């Protein structure tokens, strides 16, 4: 445990335990420092570090950062960036978890707080602003009308030119809406301003079966669904602790890791592997010379190709998957 300050309050935080929830490539754990590749961009040599002990415990720096905002900061900021959440939520999480019996009076018993997941307990299901309709843009991406209807995809009259993707909780309550520009060239997107934070959303979790294919993006998940395979999407190249917990609490017994066929996608696969091994059976999807599920689907032999990709998925073992083996050994 190391003393760090959050909102002016000194807390004893287990920094190494918190960081162990994430995958760091080329990680070197030293007694007082973690040195690794930057978790925020691709690189071959480590330029990122976190102080694990001493006066500057919890502080971090990334010497190759692409912006000043991503170059350094305190521990709460690091957790916020890793989980893609507001820094206020990261601070609240750390205070809720580690403000345990501190500042108590000698003659009073210590009252332990139960660590809590970073869920918004005040959340109430949103009123659905989406008019269900078949999106011509998604049809051009190979997504069937039946799957679009199953997921409630359509449009919101407030945002012309955007396809609306409702996102539901495991219980089927509307948690947010993802809006994406209906264009191959314009990739602008945003979320419903009153919805849950991105790290608390897992696309497709309300339709879980005993297995699922875990993707980066919504359209890749829908590509698998068009062929009849249940799928999930984290909408990014990282899986949060909240998303991991959703999978653990679901009926899912087998996960197929299907991150994009690039370094970011492989990093997602490694991170999900580390977080989920021992809880579910894990298989690895290999897209061959295609970038992702949707690119495979849109190829001339798309249906046959994507079925073959699934059929050839390998159950993960350290011997069969050297990229995951190296991550495990780091």
Within the chain, all domains assigned CATH 3.90.580.10 are found at 2-98
CA 192 to CA 169: how far, in whole Å?
15
Task: Determine the angle formed by the axes of helices 241-249 and 263-276, rounding to 10 degrees.
Answer: 50
Q: What pLDDT is recorded for position 100?
A: 55
The reply to whether CATH 3.40.50.720 applies to domain 131-329 is no
Q: What pLDDT is recorded for position 216?
A: 95
Within the chain, all domains assigned CATH 3.40.1360.10 are found at 131-329
User: Biggest alpha carbon distance in the chain?
Assistant: 75
The structure's pTM equals: 0.70
Q: What pLDDT is recorded for position 203?
A: 97
Q: What pLDDT is recorded for position 109?
A: 53
Q: What pLDDT is recorded for position 138?
A: 97
How confident is the chain (330 residues) per 10-residue block, as mean pLDDT?
86 88 83 90 86 91 88 91 81 79 48 47 81 96 97 95 96 95 89 88 95 97 97 91 93 96 89 90 95 96 96 77 42
Q: What pLDDT is recorded for position 289?
A: 94
CB 73 within 8 A of CB 79: no
Q: Which of 73, 66, 14, 80 is nearest to 49 (CA)?
A: 73
Q: What pLDDT is recorded for position 8?
A: 83
Give the H/E segment covering residue 52.
none
What class does CATH assign to 2-98?
alpha beta
Burial annotation 142-155 (CB, 10 A radius, 16+ → b, else e): bbbeebbeebbbbb
Q: What burial class does residue 29 get, using C-beta atoms within 10 Å of its C-beta: 0-12 exposed, 13-18 middle, 19+ buried?
A: middle
| Strand duo 154-155 + 131-132: pairing | antiparallel
Q: What pLDDT is recorded for position 165?
A: 97
- 3-state DSSP: the chain helix, strand, coil percent, rounded to 5? 30, 20, 50
Q: What pLDDT is recorded for position 117?
A: 46
CB 306 within 8 A of CB 227: yes
Residue 225 DSSP symbol: H
Annotate 235-298 with DSSP letters as a single string: SSS---HHHHHHHHHSS--EEEE---SSHHHHHHHHHHHHHHBTTBEEEE---TTSSSHHHHHT
Q: What pLDDT is recorded for position 111?
A: 47
pLDDT in tens, 105-159: 455 554 444 444 444 555 688 999 999 999 999 999 999 999 999 999 999 999 9
CA 221 to CA 189: how far, in whole Å?
17
Q: What pLDDT is recorded for position 324?
A: 52
**Residues in Cβ contact with 25 at an 8 Å cutoff, skipping those fewer than 6 apart:** 36, 37, 267, 270, 327, 330
């Amino acid at each position: 445990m190391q003393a760090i300050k959050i909102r002016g309050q000194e807390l004893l935080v287990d920094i190494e335990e918190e960081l162990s929830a994430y995958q760091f490539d080329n990680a070197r754990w030293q007694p007082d420092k973690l040195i690794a590749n930057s978790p925020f961009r691709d690189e071959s040599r480590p330029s990122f570090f976190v102080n694990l002990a001493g006066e500057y415990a919890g502080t971090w720096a990334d010497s190759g950062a692409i912006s000043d905002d991503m170059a350094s900061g305190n521990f709460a900021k690091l957790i916020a960036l890793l989980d893609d959440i507001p820094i206020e939520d990261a601070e609240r999480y750390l205070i809720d978890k580690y403000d345990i019996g501190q500042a108590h009076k000698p003659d009073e018993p210590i009252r332990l707080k139960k660590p809590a997941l970073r869920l918004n307990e005040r959340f109430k299901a949103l009123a659905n602003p989406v008019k269900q309709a078949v999106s011509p843009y998604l049809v051009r991406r190979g997504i069937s009308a039946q799957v679009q209807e199953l997921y409630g995809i359509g449009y919101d009259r407030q945002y012309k030119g955007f396809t609306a993707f409702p996102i539901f909780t495991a219980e089927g309550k509307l948690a947010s809406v993802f809006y994406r520009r209906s264009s191959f060239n314009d990739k602008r997107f945003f979320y419903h301003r009153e919805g849950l934070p991105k790290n608390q959303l897992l696309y497709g979790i309300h339709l879980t079966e005993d297995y699922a294919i875990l993707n980066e993006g919504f359209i890749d998940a829908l590509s698998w669904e068009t062929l009849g395979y249940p799928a999930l999407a984290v909408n990014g190249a990282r899986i949060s602790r909240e998303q991991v917990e959703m999978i653990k609490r679901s009926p899912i017994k087998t996960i197929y890791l299907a991150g994009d066929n690039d370094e970011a996608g492989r990093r997602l696969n490694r991170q999900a592997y580390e977080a989920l091994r021992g809880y579910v059976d894990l298989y690895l999807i290999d897209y061959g010379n295609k970038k992702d599920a949707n690119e495979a689907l849109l190829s001339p032999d798309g249906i046959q190709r994507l079925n073959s990709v699934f059929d050839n998925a390998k159950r993960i073992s350290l011997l069969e998957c050297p990229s995951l083996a190296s991550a495990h050994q780091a």
